[in-house]
């Protein structure tokens, strides 16, 4: 018997019991839709995490001052005043696998522009900060080495600060006042939005490190040093070389602990990526259970169908149909049932993903692979769970089947 004939017989049987067929497909429909939706949400979440971490900078290493213990009380990492601009310069000059180094120091202050003021973070840094942080300018320019050497009173605004201090106008060329010191705005940064921890990265004013230390804070130490490696493969060697160099510069003996702490942001990125991947697989696994439940539903209904059509099967066997023909008839019926449910489930899954993105504001990415996998799995479910009822039908005794009422 040709596949076309088998398909025609299977379709007639399904249409004859349309409502029962629809209920049977429900498990497959829900399972496929759940797989597509969950994988779309998981892929979107992973992409969002990767994009968020990419905003921190590529191949990033952060050095912060070490812990201080005063009166038996630990003040925590960053409490020391051990990092200086010379450390950042020495790292840049001594370690060849480094792409860029930025020294950072910051304070919180009120920024005034005309009759408007805004409380924000004032970041003092060096020109390579743009490269290390993979940040770009929306307008104007960034300060250069000459500005740093002269401790020029120039500033680059984040988008949040620019919007609040100069609504509807171009801030470049305007004057702002930080702790009674006037600064001229020379540029505005592109918006980066919030970090994964909810901090607004655009709420800051960036000025030359020397201007911050001489004109505002009076301190000559750094809050951190940020290093960008040329590739992720060199980060371990950069960390080892940096630790050795800083211990030598800080004159630490073999028994003295580090007065600084080195943090590899790439490890955080890798951990976040792995977590997102595991979550995506977990969601897909939970959704796949629905497909298995749907397959059990198909098997139950096909067993009922075999019982109801026992006399029909006996007649077919009596007039010369082979066991293989009967097996294929019911197997094709189960596969068609599963595939139709898979197609409907794909449509519902795509619609659910779109609604999730629109109504909840989540990032969703529907992968063609997820569609192919879910449809292929639904067809496999039809084959696996449809084989037993089909095999049972093909093994019926024609005489006993004809006697069946």
DSSP string for 63-117: EEE---EETTEE--TT-S---BHHHHHHHHHH-TTEEEEEEEEEEEEEEEETTEE
Domain boundary among 227, 245, 263: 227
Does 395 reside within a domain? yes
**pLDDT band at 160, cuts 50/70/90?**
very high
Indicate the number of domains in the chain.
2
Give 359's contacts (C-beta < 8 A, 6+ positions apart). none
- Could you tell me the pTM of the whole model? 0.59
Q: Do 216 and 319 fall within a single domain?
A: no
**The pLDDT value given to residue 405:** 54
Centre a 10 Å sphere on the Cβ of residue 392 and count the other Cβ atoms it contains.
17
Return the structure tokens found at 210.
């020397």
What value does the mean pLDDT take over residues 48-64?
70
Q: CA 151, CA 207: separation in Å to the nearest integer?
A: 9
Q: Do 185 and 281 fall within a single domain?
A: no
DSSP string, 102-143: EEEEEEEEEEEETTEEEEEEEEEE-TTHHHHTT--EEEE---
Higher pLDDT, 216 or 302: 216
**The pLDDT value given to residue 2:** 67
What value does the mean pLDDT take over residues 122-130?
94
**The pLDDT value given to residue 230:** 83
Centre a 10 Å sphere on the Cβ of residue 194 and count the other Cβ atoms it contains.
13
Centre a 10 Å sphere on the Cβ of residue 358 and count the other Cβ atoms it contains.
10
**The pLDDT value given to residue 201:** 87
What value does the mean pLDDT take over residues 289-316?
78
**The pLDDT value given to residue 155:** 96
Higher pLDDT, 175 or 196: 175
**The pLDDT value given to residue 75:** 42
What value does the mean pLDDT take over residues 151-163?
95
**pLDDT band at 403, cuts 50/70/90?**
low
**The pLDDT value given to residue 77:** 47
Does 140 reside within a domain? yes
Cβ burial, residue 343 (10 Å; 0-12/13-18/19+):
middle
What value does the mean pLDDT take over residues 42-55?
67
Q: Do 198 and 312 fall within a single domain?
A: no
Q: Do 322 and 387 fall within a single domain?
A: yes
Q: CA 360, CA 367: separation in Å to the nearest integer?
A: 20
b/e map 75-90, b = 16+ CB within 10 Å? eeeeebebbbbebbeb
Does 216 reside within a domain? yes
Domain boundary among 207, 227, 247: 227
Q: How far lies 200's CA from each of 183, 282, 360, in Å?
A: 22, 31, 21
Does 40 reside within a domain? yes
Does 93 reside within a domain? no
Lowest mean per-residue pLDDT among 2-16, 134-148, 287-301: 2-16
**pLDDT band at 229, cuts 50/70/90?**
confident
Which stretch of DSSP H or E encloses residue 253? none
Q: Do 129 and 42 fall within a single domain?
A: no
What value does the mean pLDDT take over residues 319-348?
83
- Locus of tokens 């790292």: 91
Q: Do 198 and 307 fall within a single domain?
A: no
Q: CA 148, CA 357: separation in Å to the nearest integer?
A: 45
Is pLDDT at 29 greater than 70 in this prediction?
yes
**The pLDDT value given to residue 175:** 95
Local structure of residue 231 (DSSP, 8 states): S
**The pLDDT value given to residue 261:** 87
Give whichever of 54-58, 270-274, 296-300, 350-354 has the largest mean pLDDT: 350-354
Higher pLDDT, 242 or 45: 242
What value does the mean pLDDT take over residues 36-64?
73
Higher pLDDT, 139 or 307: 139
Q: Do 201 and 286 fall within a single domain?
A: no
Q: Do 214 and 295 fall within a single domain?
A: no
**The pLDDT value given to residue 58:** 58
Centre a 10 Å sphere on the Cβ of residue 361 and count the other Cβ atoms it contains.
7
What value does the mean pLDDT take over residues 157-175?
94
Task: Summarize pLDDT for 364-400 with one digit per residue, the tens.
Answer: 888 888 788 888 888 888 888 888 888 888 777 666 6
Q: CA 59, CA 233: separation in Å to the nearest integer?
A: 9
**The pLDDT value given to residue 69:** 43
**The pLDDT value given to residue 159:** 95
Q: What residue numbers bound the domain in which 288 lies?
A: 3-52+272-403
Structural contact between residues 169 and 157, judged by C-beta atoms closer than 8 angstroms: no
- Three-state DSSP at 192 gives coil
**The pLDDT value given to residue 80:** 59
């Amino acid at each position: 018997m040709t596949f076309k004939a088998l398909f025609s017989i299977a379709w007639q049987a399904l249409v004859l019991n349309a409502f029962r067929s629809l209920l049977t497909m429900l498990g497959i429909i829900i399972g496929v839709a759940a797989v597509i939706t969950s994988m779309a949400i998981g892929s979107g979440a992973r992409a969002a995490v990767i994009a968020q971490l990419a905003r921190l900078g590529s191949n990033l290493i952060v050095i912060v001052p070490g812990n201080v213990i005063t009166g038996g009380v630990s003040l925590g990492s960053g409490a020391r005043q051990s990092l200086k601009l010379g450390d950042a310069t020495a790292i840049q000059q001594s370690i060849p696998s480094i792409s860029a180094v930025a020294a950072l120091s910051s304070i919180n202050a009120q920024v005034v522009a005309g009759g408007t003021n805004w409380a924000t973070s004032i970041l003092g840094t060096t020109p390579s900060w743009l490269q290390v942080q993979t940040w770009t300018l929306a307008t104007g320019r960034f300060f250069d080495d000459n500005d740093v050497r002269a401790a020029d009173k120039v500033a680059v605004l984040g988008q949040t600060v620019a919007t609040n201090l100069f609504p509807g106008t171009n801030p470049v060329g305007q004057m702002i006042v930080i702790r009674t010191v006037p600064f001229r705005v020379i540029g505005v940064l592109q918006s980066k939005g919030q970090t994964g921890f909810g901090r607004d990265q655009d709420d800051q004013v960036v000025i030359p490190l020397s201007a911050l230390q001489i004109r505002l804070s009076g301190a000559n130490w750094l809050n951190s040093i940020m290093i960008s490696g040329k590739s992720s493969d060199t980060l371990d060697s950069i960390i080892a070389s940096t630790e050795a160099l800083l211990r030598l510069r800080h004159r630490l003996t073999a028994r003295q602990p580090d007065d600084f702490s080195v943090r590899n942001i790439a490890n955080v990125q890798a951990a976040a990526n792995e977590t997102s991947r595991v979550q995506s697989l977990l969601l897909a696994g939970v959704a796949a259970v629905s497909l298995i439940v749907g397959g059990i539903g198909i098997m139950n209904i096909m067993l009922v169908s075999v019982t109801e059509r026992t006399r029909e099967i006996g007649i077919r066997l009596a007039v010369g149909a082979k066991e293989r023909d009967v097996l294929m008839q019911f197997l094709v019926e189960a596969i068609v049932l599963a595939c139709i449910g898979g197609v409907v489930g794909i449509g519902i899954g795509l619609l659910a993903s779109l609604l999730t993105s629109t109504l909840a504001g989540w990032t969703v990415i529907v992968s063609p692979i997820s569609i192919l996998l879910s449809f292929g799995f639904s067809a496999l479910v039809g084959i696996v769970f449809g084989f037993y009822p089909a095999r049972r039908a093909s093994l019926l005794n024609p005489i006993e089947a004809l006697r069946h009422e």
